[in-house]
């Protein structure tokens, strides 16, 4: 007997079942908000800024979808999007993303660390929900979280994400050590020449 047959016999087909999707959904939304705040600070690196825009849109969209209309397909999208974002962050912190010109190894900061942790929480949380749903054998639709279930996690998320968004919007990281050092040296040389010209 399949899961569909069991649900049909018990009258559960078409009913909505509760699944703990509020935490991974909110975590994905928080990570997307931080990525959106970081776009302006990385405007000097067009490719990276566009990647942040794409990640922000995808994380916000999948997070909101998992929150208001949860389901297996949406949960899989949350796992894929946030898993990709976390993997990219790990690469930049360890070896750098050599496929993108000028994006060398970066030191993790407060904003990107919080963003990565939220992304990992979203991916792992959604993955665990998918696993438990598969093991239960229930084929019914998922029930959205209630306002009471969202209250405390939402407050915690705001307290964590707002400072990270502020940090992401103001911190300008260096992209590519060689190019940055060359620019710094050139700038210093120009300043020295200006000073010498003024003293003459």
pLDDT in tens, the chain (200 residues): 333 344 444 444 445 566 788 999 999 999 999 999 988 776 776 777 888 899 999 999 999 999 998 889 999 999 999 999 999 888 888 876 666 665 667 788 899 899 999 999 999 999 999 888 777 665 567 878 778 888 898 999 999 999 999 988 887 554 444 333 333 333 444 445 444 555 55
E strand spans, 7-46: 16-18
Report if residue 114 sits inside a domain: yes
Decide the pairing of beta strands 16-18 and 141-143: parallel
Share above pLDDT 70 across residues of the chain, in percent, rounded to a whole number: 68
Q: How many CB atoms lie within 10 A of CB 136?
A: 12
pLDDT of residue 36: 93
Report if residue 147 sits inside a domain: yes
The whole-model pTM stands at: 0.73
pLDDT of residue 122: 96
pLDDT of residue 148: 80
pLDDT of residue 55: 94
Report if residue 177 sits inside a domain: no
93 by Cβ neighbours in 10 Å (0-12 / 13-18 / 19+) ranks as middle
Residue with token string 């300008």: 172
Report if residue 178 sits inside a domain: no
Domain that holds residue 110: 17-172
Classify 14 as helix, strand or coil. coil
Contact 104, 45 (CB under 8 A): no
Structure confidence by residue, pLDDT tens digits, 12-59: 444 556 678 899 999 999 999 999 998 877 677 677 788 889 999 999
Angular region, 176: left φ>0, alpha ψ -120 to 50, beta rest: left
E strand spans, the chain: 16-18, 141-143
Report if residue 180 sits inside a domain: no
Report if residue 28 sits inside a domain: yes
pLDDT of residue 101: 60
Terminal CA-CA length for the chain: 94
Please state, in angstroms and as integers, the Cα–Cα distance from residue 132 to each residue in 20, 35, 128, following that order.
10, 30, 6
pLDDT of residue 41: 74
Q: How many CB atoms lie within 10 A of CB 64?
A: 16
**What total number of domains does the chain contain?**
1
pLDDT of residue 78: 96
Q: What is the DSSP letter of 44?
A: T
Q: Which structure tokens are listed for 158?
A: 């705001």
Residues 6+ positions from 66 with CB-CB distance below 8 Å: 21, 24, 25, 28, 74, 75, 78, 126
Angle, helix 110-136 to helix 22-38, in steps of 10 degrees: 150
Distance between CA atoms of 79 and 82, rounded to whole angstroms? 6
Q: Measuring CA to CA, which residue among 66, 87, 90 is closest to residue 150?
A: 66
Report if residue 188 sits inside a domain: no
Report if residue 183 sits inside a domain: no
């Amino acid at each position: 007997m399949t899961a569909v047959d069991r649900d049909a016999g018990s009258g559960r087909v078409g009913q909505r079942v509760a699944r703990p999707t509020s935490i991974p959904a909110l975590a994905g939304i928080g990570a997307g908000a931080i990525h959106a705040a970081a776009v302006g600070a990385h405007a000097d690196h067009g490719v990276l800024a566009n990647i942040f825009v794409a990640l922000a849109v995808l994380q916000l969209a999948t997070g909101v979808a998992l929150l208001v209309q949860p389901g297996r397909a949406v949960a899989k999208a949350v796992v894929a999007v946030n898993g990709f974002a976390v993997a990219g962050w790990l690469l930049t912190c360890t070896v750098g993303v050599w496929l993108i010109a000028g994006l060398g190894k970066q030191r993790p900061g407060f904003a990107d660390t919080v963003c990565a942790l939220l992304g990992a929480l979203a991916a792992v949380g959604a993955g665990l929900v998918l696993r438990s749903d598969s093991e239960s054998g229930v084929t019914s639709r998922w029930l959205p979280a209630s306002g009471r279930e969202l209250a405390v996690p939402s407050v915690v998320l705001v307290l964590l994400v707002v400072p990270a968004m502020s940090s992401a919007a103001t911190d300008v990281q260096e992209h590519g050590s060689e190019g940055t050092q060359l620019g710094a040296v050139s700038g210093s040389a120009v300043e020295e020449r200006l000073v010498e010209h003024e003293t003459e």
